Structure 1
Amino acid sequence: MPTGPSIAGEDLRSVMQRVPSPVTVVTAAGRSEARGATIGSLTSVSLDPPLVSFNVEKDSQMHAVLAKASHFAVHLLADRQSELCQHFAVPDQSGPDQLAAVTYHTDTHGTPILESAPAVLQCHWHEAFAAGDHDIVVGRVTQLEERDEARPLLYYDQDYRSVSAPADSHSTG
């Protein structure tokens, strides 16, 4: 139950643009359709058991597919793949149209696995939690594949970015 004054969602968005976010594409196969979505909220939840989470908008087509899927794949993207990210961010595109434009194979659960992703986490549905206009989806990582060590794609200040040199470290005497 909220206490105190409320802030506008746009005000929160403006501040959160200062926080770099990983950019991934999540794919899944429901009963009637396979599809993917660009997700900017991936986080590691637990190492034992190995769990990851991300947020998905309740009104999205991806939410409906994930709700019927037992498995999904999280594709970590390289800094050179912003066009792939933009492709899976188009809201009204059908699943078949999304997948026709990319090279992929399906795993034993029918989940599309994108060939170009530098790393893929294959997950079994673990749990979901309602969180406002989104659900927090938690998956148990059952397989992972590291294909290359490309620099990751990030979203920061309304644009796609790359990781640059390490920040200066300062010792405190």
Structure 2
Amino acid sequence: MFVVTTRVGDHRAGCLVGFSSQVSINPPRFLVGLSKKNHTYRVAERGATHLAVHLLAEEHRELARLFGSETGDRVDKFSDCRWSDGPEGLPILSDAAAWFSGHILERFDLGDHVGHLIQPVAGAAPDRFGDLVTFTDVKDLEPGHEA
């Protein structure tokens, strides 16, 4: 599970995503699926050029819950967590185990989700990872929006 954030102008958005994958090693490419019903998708579609992808350690499971069970339509999720401006002004979650930002190369309609193909351009990761948040940790969440 990943938390994806973006920014367009003064509008920040972020959500928990389960549809994502590295899709190429050379050149480096990553695909992120955003639900068409999601606030983050709507912000991204208003002209986002970059996304930030965050991995969360198990001890920050509540951060996954915040970004997975609340909607930016009603709640400023960023007021409830620690973050800072990163590359391209993207909100970077301070408690992420690792993160990378990527330039959006293409968007693909995948049905109820839109795939965002990104080229990683910046990031930070520790030398070692502990246990990360997985689907099992968040499967009981009531989503902010239906898929």
Do the two structures share a fold, i.e. TM-score over 0.5? yes
Aligned-pair CA distance for 1:87:
0.2
Mind listing any 5+ residue stretches in structure 2 that lack a counterpart?
Answer: 142-147
| CA shift digits 1:91-131 (9 cap, x unpaired) | 43358721011111112411001111111011111111101
CA distance, structure 2, for counterparts of residue 150 and residue 54 of structure 1: 23
Query: In structure 2, which of residues 112, 115, 135 is the aligned counterpart of residue 155 of structure 1?
Result: 135
How many residues align structurally? 138
Residue in 1 aligned with 2:113? 134
Partner Cα distance (1:150, 1:126) in 2: 31
TM-score (norm 1): 0.72
Distance, in Å, in 1 between the alignment partners of 2:85 and 2:29 is 22
Q: CA deviation at 1:66?
A: 1.4
Q: Which residue of structure 1 aligns with residue 12 of structure 2?
A: 34
User: What TM-score do the two structures reach when normalised by structure 2?
Assistant: 0.84
Q: Greater helix share, 1 or 2?
A: 2
Bigger relative contact order (CA 8 A; separation at least 6): 2
2:145 match: none
- CA RMSD, 1 decimal: 2.1
Which is greater in Rg? 1
Instruction: Name the counterpart of 1:73.
Output: 52
Distance 1:96 1:106, change over 3 A: farther
Question: How far apart are the structure 2 equivalents of 1:159 and 1:92?
Answer: 16
